[in-house]
Chain A
Amino acid sequence: MEDDYYSIESILAENQKIQCTFKIDVPDMGHLDGGNERDIKALSKVQVPLWMAYILIYSDYADFTIPPPFSARVRSALNAEARSVRLSNLVGQAGLWYGFGRMIMRLLNDDVAKEMSDVLVKTFRDRLPEVIDQAQHFASVHASSADSGVGGDNATMLFREGLDGTERELFALAQDSTRRTKRWYETSERGRRS
């Protein structure tokens, strides 16, 4: 998630494609779009990975459109009930919706970027308690007994499947730490002491 050069998450988040509209002709680069064209013509729309889009946009060779995971439709769905949106579907399996969003945010101008940041922050805060709740629930279920009815109801399962990569990481952290603490509370170490 962070900008660390060595962060795999950061590289994965940059690997998402966004749609760019070229403002100028670029000779001999038609293969970027996977087509048979030899050149990229001005005003043609090309999907390029985000890491390449940076330089195109900053050099004013191209414009970009806000990608579908952050479209108005998704935003209003998030606004209505952040917990029922499946973030993982928006950016692919193990995708990094927040990481991607943050990189798009960097490309935008102040006002739009602020709006984007608000969407990201609000979504994260709305979803966080549910992520942690479920993590803690699962920590105790597995620690105490092999309960067969573990799955919970359908809605919570859908929520878990919809977690984005960053949330998955938090889920694992919370689950681990809860499990460790719980184990400590429950074991008596009288035997070890004597």
Chain B
Amino acid sequence: MALPTPLRASVTPAELELIASEQLVEIVPLVAMERTAFISGAYGPLRPPTKCKVPIWMATNLKLKKKCRVVPPDWLNVEFLEGRLTQETSEAGFSEMPFRFAEVAKVLLDVAPDDFPNPDKIRSLLKDIREARQAKSREGLSKLDHSELSLPNLCSMEINEIRPFFIRAMGVLTDLVKEAQPQQDAP
């Protein structure tokens, strides 16, 4: 294969971000626009005081041209994240987060920090949550065996980060575990 080794097992974070950008987010448009057809679907019409759902890539584009305000998703605020952080630090399992929360949060906070009430606090909460979850996926490593590993509620960015070495390690374990049927009679 022509791909470099690290890219064979997983996609890059930037690619995940691209995928996440297809998700819809609510915006308050500041310009009027008729319903318009794009390759991924038709969005609009934009009528200024009314909220409207558009894909994140379109929201970022409009936002950078100062033609809309982003309405933060209901999970991207200080109270919700604080609740999740408490869960994350007090319970053993991963708490339930939107599957692509890391990508969506980063993109929105990057382009529209002025639409969030307390962006720095949100950022630091997200960082804490991420670190708490990382510690847990490290625990998962010690439970690794050759056939399966269950880490429910792990999110796309986290899966992507641990995927290359988890599958390699499981592959090695598969090789090392003695097969049930004897192989001695087939030289």
Contacts and interface: CB of A to CB of B under 8 A. Distances in A.
Interface of A: 1-2, 54-55, 58, 98, 101-102, 105-106, 109-110, 113-114, 116-117, 120-121, 124-125, 128-129, 132-133, 135, 166, 169-170, 173-174, 176-178, 180-181, 183-185, 188-190, 193-194
B interface SS class: helix
Contact of A181 (B160, B168, B171): B160
B138 A132 contact: yes
A190 B175 CA distance: 46
Interface of B: 5-6, 9-10, 12-14, 17, 60-61, 64, 102, 106, 110-111, 130, 138, 141-142, 144, 157, 160-165, 168-169, 171-173, 175-178, 182-184, 187
A interface SS class: helix
A174 B102 CA distance: 20
Given A177-B160, A189-B110, A190-B110, 11 more contacts: A117-B176, A132-B138, A174-B164, A176-B164, A177-B6, A177-B164, A177-B165, A181-B161, A184-B12, A185-B13, A185-B130
A128 B60 contact: no
Which one of B6, B144, B178, B187 has the highest number of Cβ atoms from chain A below 10 Å of its Cβ? Answer: B178
Contacts of B171: 1-2
B167 to A, nearest CB: 9
A110 to B, nearest CB: 6
B165 A173 contact: yes
Nearest to A113: B178
Contacts of A106: 183
Nearest to B63: A193
Nearest to A115: B178
A166 B144 CA distance: 16
Nearest to B178: A117
Nearest to A116: B178
Pairs of residues from A and B, 10 with the lowest C-beta to C-beta distance, nearest first: A184-B13, A58-B187, A117-B178, A174-B165, A176-B6, A120-B176, A173-B165, A181-B161, A173-B164, A194-B64
B164 A124 contact: no
A174 B134 CA distance: 13
Nearest to B57: A193
Contacts of B61: 193
A177 B10 CA distance: 9
Contact of B142 (A55, A102, A129): A129
B164 A190 contact: no
B144 A125 contact: yes
Nearest to A171: B165
Contacts of B161: 177-178, 181
B20 to A, nearest CB: 12
A110 B184 contact: yes
